[in-house]
Chains A and B, each alone.
Chain A
């Protein structure tokens, strides 16, 4: 190589200019494809961008609504970038990251990321035992380790054993999400407050995890529109810049059954976080509001450690004293998250991050200018730092 080249940087080069969603419910009559189209068109309208200008798509692999169908349904133009990310909820932030890379490098100009799922009315994925897990199921399923709740439950109990975490710590997480949902009319749990007594007497799903440690089952779809930072300034809302992105698949990681390395409690969050902070202008102490993937409550303490908000083993204690509530050290999942707003593989955490930085959250953190959004911990993951 001769002359030095300028390296393309993603930092603040792109912005989320539009967000959209359908309603969230246990059962919606329309198909995943129809719901996806509704959310995408709403997001484009929010940005003030015509569907014919869309030239990039990014989505997830589970329960696919593919680009061919989506593009022709909404009336997209010629599409020059499209990609899918695997590992369920691990792919949420990666969809935005892939579009950011495409737009920053000139492969496309208007990108759409979306998620449409019918997990409320559709089948539970674990009931299909023919589908292979990332790590072959011969080592886990025959023994009755059937569901994600069981797989994460094993890690949760070990975490409790090693660090003295208690069910009260998990309740702190469930309560913070439920309190925010109670402020959010779009949340499935809007009118359903949670008490400690309800939590402590709830039915078990997989001991040590009870009903309220588990995310919701939701029908719904969401989308966001990504453009260059320059273009975003001409759109309808205050731009929310994509400041830093990362994916994380750690060495010797085994998926959600991550039982076979030196430290199973150090998951993909740690890998994604190292990259995320390396390319950022600020650190964990500067994060005003966090949207942390919450398929299960124990993922929050693990993620708090992984993303550097506290030390190893301190994630449970971090949740004490209202730390995750509005006004606390780190307001969490301010729309209610997967536990209490909707479980749509974490895409609602991205859109809520955008709302917070626009200043339009239903439980607004005053003056929030920075937001961490994460994808599933326990699976190959991804994360975003957003800033206004």
Chain B
């Protein structure tokens, strides 16, 4: 491995212009982010038995097939849990703390839960929703935020703000 490859392989280390960490997709995760860039929330599923799986991985844990496809979801879900991080944090996150991190259970696939942020609008700050508005069970929908350096991440909006 070259130095460059080593750095790329270590996920979560990419710096964005806003100082937040950019996802560093691995081979299995790359399609998720490619679809997000097109405004689609898709999850990996087995091409043979149809079982959805997350996080993405090379083969199906149910039937061991290496063939997979990416199935579109409605982009709707519910908050399964959340935390409000306070410092000490990495500087860019500390600047917005306390912000929220939510775990969203997808309506189409309840066992698939995505870590993300509940925001007032796709491009709003991580702390743009008041904590008292956050509830376990609250319905949410996916929004797509393009970062300063052109990377798209999935964020979440309350269905009933």
Contacts and interface: CB of A to CB of B under 8 A. Distances in A.
Tell whether A pairs with B.
Answer: yes
Interface of A: 124, 127, 129-133, 135-147, 149-150, 153-155, 157-158, 161, 203-209, 252, 254, 257, 259-262, 264
A161 B93 contact: no
Interface of B: 7, 9-13, 20-26, 28-29, 33, 54-55, 61, 80-86, 88-90, 93, 96, 98-99, 101, 103, 111-117, 126, 131, 136, 153
Contacts of B112: 260
Contacts of A260: 54-55, 111-113
B89 A259 contact: no
20 contacts: A130-B7, A138-B11, A138-B33, A139-B23, A139-B29, A139-B55, A142-B20, A142-B21, A143-B101, A143-B116, A144-B89, A146-B93, A150-B85, A154-B83, A158-B103, A158-B136, A161-B81, A206-B84, A207-B83, A259-B80
Given A138-B29, A259-B103, 13 more contacts: A129-B10, A129-B13, A136-B28, A139-B23, A140-B12, A141-B12, A143-B117, A144-B101, A145-B83, A149-B85, A157-B136, A206-B83, A254-B55
B101 A150 contact: yes
A254 B23 CA distance: 18
A209 B101 CA distance: 14
Listed residue (B33, B115, B117) with the most chain A CB atoms within 10 angstroms of its CB: B115
B89 A146 contact: yes
Contact of A261 (B9, B13, B21, B111): B111
B62 to A, nearest CB: 10
B157 to A, nearest CB: 15
B10 A146 contact: no
A132 B26 CA distance: 11
A207 B98 contact: yes
Contacts of B101: 143-145, 150, 154
Contacts of A257: 115
A144 B20 CA distance: 8
Nearest to A159: B81
Listed residue (B10, B81, B86) with the most chain A CB atoms within 10 angstroms of its CB: B81
A372 B21 CA distance: 40
Contacts, number: 133
Question: Which 10 A-B pairs have CB atoms at the shortest separation, nearest pair first?
Answer: A137-B12, A141-B12, A153-B83, A207-B84, A158-B81, A138-B23, A130-B10, A137-B11, A204-B86, A129-B13
A36 B7 CA distance: 31
Given A143-B117, A144-B89, A132 B83 contact: no
Contacts of A158: 80-81, 103, 136
A150 B90 contact: no
Nearest to A136: B11
A217 to B, nearest CB: 11
A249 B9 CA distance: 24
Contacts of B23: 138-139, 141-142
A133 B9 CA distance: 12
Contact of A138 (B7, B26, B89, B103): B26
Contacts of B136: 157-158, 161
A260 B85 CA distance: 21
Listed residue (A124, A131, A142, A261) with the most chain B CB atoms within 10 angstroms of its CB: A142
Contacts of A203: 86
A157 B98 CA distance: 16
A158 B135 CA distance: 11
A345 to B, nearest CB: 20
A146 B33 CA distance: 20
A207 B99 CA distance: 10
A150 B81 contact: no
Listed residue (A127, A150, A254, A257) with the most chain B CB atoms within 10 angstroms of its CB: A150
Given A138-B24, A205-B86, A260-B55, A144 B117 contact: yes
Contact of A154 (B12, B22, B103): B103
Contact of A204 (B90, B98, B99): B98
A140 B10 CA distance: 13
Given A145-B101, A158-B80, A252 B115 contact: no
B81 A142 contact: no
B81 A154 contact: yes
A257 B81 CA distance: 12
Contact of A139 (B10, B114, B117): B114
Given A139-B115, A146-B89, A204-B84, A252 B61 contact: yes
